[in-house]
A and B are shown apart, each in its own frame.
Chain A
C-alpha cells in the first residue's frame, strides 16, 4: 500500500530557537497518528508545517505523490478545501460565527461548486445529525451554541466534503471533561466509519489512547519516541515518555 502522506525531515526554526526538527514519518490511508508532548514541545509547530499554515525551513510533506511544501499557494488552498480538513482547538477559529450552522457546514460544499440549495441544506441537515446537533438548530448561529456543540459543528463543517486527511489541533482542549468524553466518542465513531486518515495533536494521552493507531512523542522539537499507540503507552522506552505516562496514570 502507498502511504497517503510522507513527511520527510521537517525542520522549522524561529531565529535561534528550534520549533521542530528531524521529523519524518509515513501515514497510510485510514491510519490515525497521534502527536503528544507538553506545550513548547514543537507539536503545534509541526502540525502547522504539515497543514501548510507555516513554511518549514527544510523538508517535504508529500501528499498523494505531490510535495505540498513547494506546490503553489492556489493548489495548496484547493487541497485545504477538498482533500484536507483542519479542526482548530478553538471552534471560533474554525467557524464563521456570523453565519448559520447550515451555512457553516454548506460553505465547503459551495466552495467546491455545489449550487443546489436544497441539496446543500439536506446534506447540512444530515451532518448536523451525525454530530448530534438537532436539525431545528440549522438556522441558528454558532454563537448561540455551547462550546461542545460549536466543536461538533466545526467537525461537521470539516468532514462534509469527505476529506481524505484531517488535521486536528487539541480537538478536545478547552472543553469540560464530560463534554470531552462525548466528543471523543463521536470522533472515534466518525473516524472508524469514514475510514479517515488523521493527524491529531494533543497533550491528552486519553485522546490518543482512544483515537490514534500510532503515536509520536515530542520534546524540545525532537521526536523522542514513536510506535504503535498501545506499545508506546504500555511499554514506554524513552525516559520522557515514561514520565508522561506515569504522570497520567497517577491521576
Chain B
C-alpha cells in the first residue's frame, strides 16, 4: 500500500501531468484561433466534482507557471467556499502566489462574475462553465447544435428572445445572456449576470472558458468584438439593482442583496469584495 500512496508533493506541478496540459493547451490555441468556437477536449477526472469548476481548474492548470499570481473568485468574492477550495488546491499542487487584488493577479479563475476593475493586457481570466452550449435549452441534442453552429443557423436563438418579449414584454434572460463573437459564433458567456456582458467586448485580457463535464473549451482573445443578442427596438441593457453599495457607496457595480433581519430588511453590497475593499480603504 505505502509504495503507491501519493501525497501532494508527488503530483505534478498544478496537478495535471504534462501530456494532459499539452493536450489542453492545444485546445486553448485552437479556441483562441477561432473565437467563440467550442473546442472538444479530453477533460480529465479531477479530484473535485464535475460542475464545481473542473473545466476552469484544468484550464488554469494548463496556463499556470511558477511565477504566476493567482486570484480565485466565486460570485465575485474571494472568500466564498468554492473559491477558497480551488485557491487552496493550486496552493497545494502548484505552490503559486495568490492574491485577492484584481490588478496584482496574472490569472483569475472566476465563477459567475467578471471583476469590476478593468483588466489589463497580459491578464488571463478563466471562466468556469456549466453548460457551454448557448442553444442547449432550445435543442438538447449536441449532434444537432454542433450542426447549427457549423451552418450558422441561429434563427432559433432570436426566436427565444422574440418569445420572451411576446410573453414578458422584455427579454427575460438575466444571466448567461447569449452573445455573438466577431459576427460569427453565438456563445454562452457562462452564467455571469448580463451586467457583465459589456466587459466581454474589446477587453485587453485573454478570456478562457472551460467546461469540464461537457468537455469543451472556448476563448475570447484580447480585444475581441462581442455583441449581446437583442432587437433594434428592444436593445440589450446591462442592468443591475437600482441601488448604491451600502458599504462603499459605489453606484456602478453589481450588487448582492443581503437580508439582514427577520423583518426582511435588505441591504445591497458589492458582489466584487476586492473592489469594495479598495473603495473603502481609499
Interface residues, chain A, with chain B CB atoms under 8 Å away: 73-74, 77, 81, 96, 99-100, 102-103, 106-108, 110-112, 115-118, 120-121, 138-139
12 residue pairs bridging A and B, Cβ less than 8 Å apart: A96-B159, A103-B159, A107-B156, A110-B158, A112-B155, A115-B232, A116-B231, A116-B233, A117-B162, A117-B232, A117-B233, A118-B233
Whether B155 contacts A81 by the Cβ 8 Å rule is yes
Option from A73, A74, A77, A106 in Cβ contact (under 8 Å) with B162: A106
Q: Report the bound CA distance from A207 to B103 in whole Å.
A: 72
Asked, given contacts A74-B152, A77-B153, whether A115 binds B163 with beta carbons under 8 Å apart, the answer is no
CB distance from B160 to the nearest CB of A (A): 9
Which residue of B is nearest A102, CB measured? Answer: B166
Whether A117 contacts B159 by the Cβ 8 Å rule is no
CB distance from A143 to the nearest CB of B (A): 14
Whether B151 contacts A102 by the Cβ 8 Å rule is no
Asked, given contacts A115-B231, A115-B232, whether A103 binds B151 with beta carbons under 8 Å apart, the answer is no
Whether B166 contacts A77 by the Cβ 8 Å rule is no
CB distance from A217 to the nearest CB of B (A): 36
Whether A107 contacts B159 by the Cβ 8 Å rule is yes
Asked, given contacts A74-B150, A100-B163, whether A117 binds B155 with beta carbons under 8 Å apart, the answer is no
Whether A111 contacts B162 by the Cβ 8 Å rule is no
B135-164 contact mask (Cβ, 8 Å, vs A): 1 or 0: 000000000000000111111101100110
Chain B residue total in the interface (Cβ 8 A):
19
**Residues of B contacting A103 in the complex (Cβ-Cβ under 8 angstroms):** 159, 162-163, 166
CB distance from A120 to the nearest CB of B (A): 7
CB distance from B74 to the nearest CB of A (A): 34
Q: Report the bound CA distance from A116 to B165 in whole Å.
A: 12
Whether A111 contacts B153 by the Cβ 8 Å rule is yes
Option from A74, A81, A106, A138 in Cβ contact (under 8 Å) with B159: A106
**Residues of chain B in range 55-88 having any CB-CB distance to chain A below 8 Å:** none
Q: Report the bound CA distance from A74 to B184 in whole Å.
A: 14
**Residues of A contacting B230 in the complex (Cβ-Cβ under 8 angstroms):** 115
**Residues of B contacting A116 in the complex (Cβ-Cβ under 8 angstroms):** 231-233
B231-273 contact mask (Cβ, 8 Å, vs A): 1 or 0: 1111000000000000000000000000000000000000000
Option from B150, B154, B231 in Cβ contact (under 8 Å) with A117: B231
Whether B162 contacts A110 by the Cβ 8 Å rule is yes
**Residues of B contacting A115 in the complex (Cβ-Cβ under 8 angstroms):** 158, 230-232
B116-130 contact mask (Cβ, 8 Å, vs A): 1 or 0: 000000000000000
**Residues of B contacting A107 in the complex (Cβ-Cβ under 8 angstroms):** 155-156, 159
Q: Is B167 an interface residue (CB 8 A)?
A: yes
**Residues of A contacting B231 in the complex (Cβ-Cβ under 8 angstroms):** 115-117, 120
Whether A139 contacts B150 by the Cβ 8 Å rule is no
**Residues of A contacting B165 in the complex (Cβ-Cβ under 8 angstroms):** 117
Q: A112-B155, A118-B233 given; name 16 further pairs at CB < 8 Å.
A: A77-B151, A99-B159, A99-B163, A102-B162, A102-B166, A103-B159, A106-B159, A107-B159, A108-B155, A111-B153, A111-B158, A115-B230, A116-B231, A116-B232, A117-B165, A120-B231
**Residues of A contacting B158 in the complex (Cβ-Cβ under 8 angstroms):** 110-111, 115
